[in-house]
A = this chain, B = another copy of it.
Amino acid sequence: MKPKISDVAKVAGVSPTTVSRVLNNRGYIGEETRKKVNDAMKELNYYPNDIARSLYIKKTFLIGVIFPTTGNPFYGQLIFHLENYANSLGYKVLLCNSQGREDKEKSYLHMLQRNQVDGIIAGAHNRGIEEYDIPNLPVVGFDRYLSKNTPVISSDNYEGGKQATQLLLDKGCSKIIHINGPIDLETPANLRRTAYEDVLRDNNMLPITYETEWANEEVIRRLFDEHPDCDGIFASDDMIASVVLREAKKRKISTPNQLKVIGYDGTETIRTLLPELSTVEQPIKGIAEKAVDLLIKQIDGAWNGDQLEYTLPVKLIDSETTSLQKGEK
C-alpha cells in the first residue's frame, strides 16, 4: 500500500538508513546516492510517516488548542492566527471546542495527552480546572489563570477598561453601567471591570455592573428597565454591546445622543458588520503569536519561567456609538 522507507530504499538500491539520511539531511551523503534516492521517492510518491517518526523522536509537533468555540468571531479569529503562526513554525493544531463546559474540557485534556501533543494553548470563559498542572506539558493560557505556574497572555484589560470608561465620561455620560461576565471566574478580563470601577469612583460616581455569561437579552432588558436614566454602557464584549444597541433601538433610545455604548474586542467581523460600534480593539494577531512563541519556548526548554503574565496593548476605537461622525445628522 503506502510506500515506506524500505520500499524507497529497494528502488534506489540503497539501505533504509541512507534514505532516512537524505530525508533528514543528516550526515554525509554522496551526491549520486542522494539523487537516486530522491528519484525513487518521486517515483513512488513517497511521504514519510510522521506517526512513526513521532513515536521514535518523542515529539509530535502537535499543539492542542482549547477554546469555547470557533463559531464566535473573536475566538475564530484568534484560532486562525494561532494555527497560522504555529504552522509557519512547523507545528500543527489539534482543535478543541470546549463550549465552556468543564466536562468537555477535561476530556479534551486527556485526549490531547493521549495524542502526545507537545503543548497546549487554552482560553477564557471556562471555570478553573486544577488538571492543567500537568508535569512536563507546556501550557499557555489566554485571559485565564490555568494553574500556578502557567503563563497567561491577555490584552491590557485594565488599560482598556479604563480608556473605555474614560471615553464615556469625556463624552459627557453621567450614569455609566458596565456589563461583564460572571465575577467568580478569576480571569485577567476582570480587570476591565476593576478599571471601570476605579475610574467611576475617582469621579465620585457609583459603579453598577450587570453580569451575564453570554450576550443575554434578558439581562440587558432588565438593565434598561431598572436604569432608564442610564446614558453610557461599557460592555465587556462586542456581541453584548450589539445586543444593547438593538434593545436601545427597540426602546427608541437614540444612540449616541441619549445613550453611548462601547464594547470590547474589535474583531474584523465586528468592524465589518458593525463599524459604528465603538470598542476596545484587542491585538488578536499579536496575542496569538505571543502565545505560540511562549509555548514553543517552553517546549524547547528555553523559558526561564520568571514572567507569568504578559500584557499586550489595546487600541481605543471611538466610533459612532460614542460620538457623532462628521457628515452625520
Q: Closest approach, in angstroms, between the C-beta of A316 and any C-beta of chain B? A: 21
Given contact pairs A69-B80, A97-B83, A47 touches B269 in the complex (Cβ within 8 A):
no
Within 8 A of B (CB), among A99-127: 99, 110-111, 113-116
Interface string of A14-51 (1 = CB under 8 A from B): 00000000000000000000000000000000011111
Q: Which residues of chain B come closer than 8 Å to A242, judged between CB atoms? A: 272-273
A54 CB-CB contact with B under 8 Å: yes
A302 CB-CB contact with B under 8 Å: no
Contact among B47, B95, B111, B243 for A95, CB-based, below 8 A: B95
Q: Which residues of chain B come closer than 8 Å to A110, judged between CB atoms? A: 47
How far does the alpha carbon of A114 sit from the alpha carbon of B23 in the complex, in Å?
13
Pair B274/A47 contact, Cβ less than 8 Å: no
Contact among B49, B65, B114 for A114, CB-based, below 8 A: B49
How far does the alpha carbon of A60 sit from the alpha carbon of B136 in the complex, in Å?
24
What is the size category of the interface that chain A forms with chain B?
35 or more
Q: Closest approach, in angstroms, between the C-beta of A83 and any C-beta of chain B? A: 5
A246 CB-CB contact with B under 8 Å: yes
A315 CB-CB contact with B under 8 Å: no
Q: Which residues of chain B come closer than 8 Å to A136, judged between CB atoms? A: 1-2
Pair A239/B273 contact, Cβ less than 8 Å: yes
Pair A97/B84 contact, Cβ less than 8 Å: yes
Q: Closest approach, in angstroms, between the C-beta of A187 and any C-beta of chain B? A: 22
A70 CB-CB contact with B under 8 Å: yes
How far does the alpha carbon of A54 sit from the alpha carbon of B70 in the complex, in Å?
27
Given contact pairs A83-B95, A84-B97, A97-B80, A115 touches B70 in the complex (Cβ within 8 A):
no
Q: Closest approach, in angstroms, between the C-beta of A251 and any C-beta of chain B? A: 12
- Known contacts A71-B77, A242-B273, A270-B273; can you find 20 more A-B pairs with CB under 8 A? A2-B136, A47-B110, A47-B114, A48-B114, A49-B114, A51-B51, A51-B54, A51-B116, A52-B55, A55-B55, A70-B70, A71-B76, A71-B268, A72-B76, A72-B269, A73-B76, A83-B97, A215-B272, A239-B273, A274-B274
